[in-house]
Copies of this chain bind each other. A is one copy, B any other.
């Protein structure tokens, strides 16, 4: 850690910083430049975590060298994390395809979607029973009865399911029905929810907040890892966009970046990530080419009558072609001489 002091700071201001560092059991090296004075802190900067050096008089800037997450950092383990969900592994050599409707609307529709997803080559199903909606007047999901439908469809087609939990009071209920618990974009920094979900021991799909930095995202993963659950899968789903032409700006550069910084697997959701069905096939392909471990696709047997996010759901016949392209790109990249990480 470096503490940068204003050139004109007083000896007392400088000494206050030194004393605070030394009180934490660390030592300092001081260097006086043309424009600033810099105190280099030697030793484990974690010990200064709760000392607000940036608030000391005379201090211009504090430059930490450690990242604020540890267990999520690549250096914390050798090799990539592989998360097992049912019979499927996320993060190994295989490309993961998750497909399904945005919300569970009825058992018939869900079953039709589930069969189509399986036939098109998906490894997992998605579908929401608890739906976070911007307005209280929109469809909020079927709740527990939706979870039951999901479970039935999952058993019928033989694919594991991922579904969202929104409330610490419902985490155990969701965990009874789901193979994997989704933390949605609006809850990425709902820390009690992260911890409650972690404690179920289930695999967690952690969507990126729509204005979260990669560091904040990995810190959110750290809450889960730190609660003793190492089965975390990240999922990029688009950032807030200032261009109304797209609902979100899908950030694919986070894929190679996360693969460099962390050992956790990363998926991409091009459906929410663009909000427009016509952009989903291209962005699904691009996500795989960027090195994603998998993609998460919204599809609907009848998008015109979907109760949420209809404009981004693929028709059943599009789904198969998108998955086929994605798998072909994945196979091709396995042989590339410039690996992602």
Known: A241-B242, A289-B329, A321-B337. A169 touches B166 (CB 8 A): no
Chain A 208-247 near chain B by CB (<8 Å), digits 1 or 0 = 0011011110010011001000000000000111111110
Q: Is A182 an interface residue (CB 8 A)?
A: no
The listed residue (B54, B63, B285) touching A333 by CB distance below 8 A is: B285
> What's the least CB distance linking A283 to chain B, in Å?
6
**Do residues A31 and B29 form an inter-chain contact, with CB atoms below 8 A?**
yes
Q: Mark A320-341, 1 if CB is under 8 A from B, else 0.
A: 0110110011001100111010
- Choose among B276, B291, B310 the residue that contacts A52 (Cβ–Cβ < 8 A): B310
A136 to B281, CA, bound (A): 34
In the complex, per-residue mask of A299-321: 1 if CB is within 8 Å of any chain B CB, else 0: 00001111100110100001001
Which of A88-96, A110-118, A186-194 touches B?
A: A186-194
Enumerate A35-79 residues with CB–CB distance to B below 8 Å: 35-36, 38, 40, 42-46, 49-52, 54-57, 63, 65-66, 68-70
Question: A257 at the A/B interface (Cβ < 8 Å)?
Answer: yes
In chain A between 118 and 155, which residues have their CB closer than 8 angstroms to a CB of chain B? 132-139
A107 part of interface (Cβ distance < 8 Å): no
- Segment 274-289 of A: residues with Cβ below 8 Å from B: 274, 276-279, 281-283, 285-289
Q: Which of A16, A63, A256, A318 gathers the greatest number of chain B CB atoms within 10 Å?
A: A256
Instruction: Determine if A4 is an interface residue (Cβ-Cβ < 8 Å).
Output: yes
10 residue pairs from A and B, CB less than 8 Å apart: A2-B38, A38-B40, A52-B307, A133-B191, A136-B222, A242-B242, A249-B249, A256-B279, A321-B336, A329-B332
Q: Is the CB of A40 within 8 A of B40?
A: yes
Does A290 sit within 8 A of B, measured CB to CB?
yes
- Please give me the residue from chain B that is nearest to A139 by CB atom: B50
Contact A253 B291 (CB under 8 A): no
Q: Does A81 contact B (CB under 8 A)?
A: no
Residues of B near A244 (CB, < 8 A) are 213, 244
What is the size, in residues, of chain A's interface with B at 8 Å between Cβ atoms? 115
Min Cβ gap A13→B in Å is 10
Contacts of A166 in B (CB 8 A): 190-192
Asked if A189 meets B134 with Cβ closer than 8 Å, knowing A210-B211, A213-B243, A252-B283, the reply is yes
Residue of B nearest to A65 (CB): B36
A69 and B285 contact, Cβ closer than 8 Å, known pairs A211-B242, A250-B252: no
Please state if A332 and B328 are interface contacts (CB–CB under 8 Å).
Answer: yes
Contact B279 A338 (CB under 8 A): no
Residue from B29, B132, B256, B321 in contact with A282 in the complex, judged by beta carbons closer than 8 Å: B256
Contact between A33 and B65 (Cβ–Cβ < 8 Å)? yes
Query: How many angstroms from the CA of A139 to the CA of B77 in the assembled complex?
Result: 26
Known: A190-B186, A253-B283. A55 touches B313 (CB 8 A): yes
A251 at the A/B interface (Cβ < 8 Å)? yes
A106 adjacent to chain B (CB < 8 Å): no
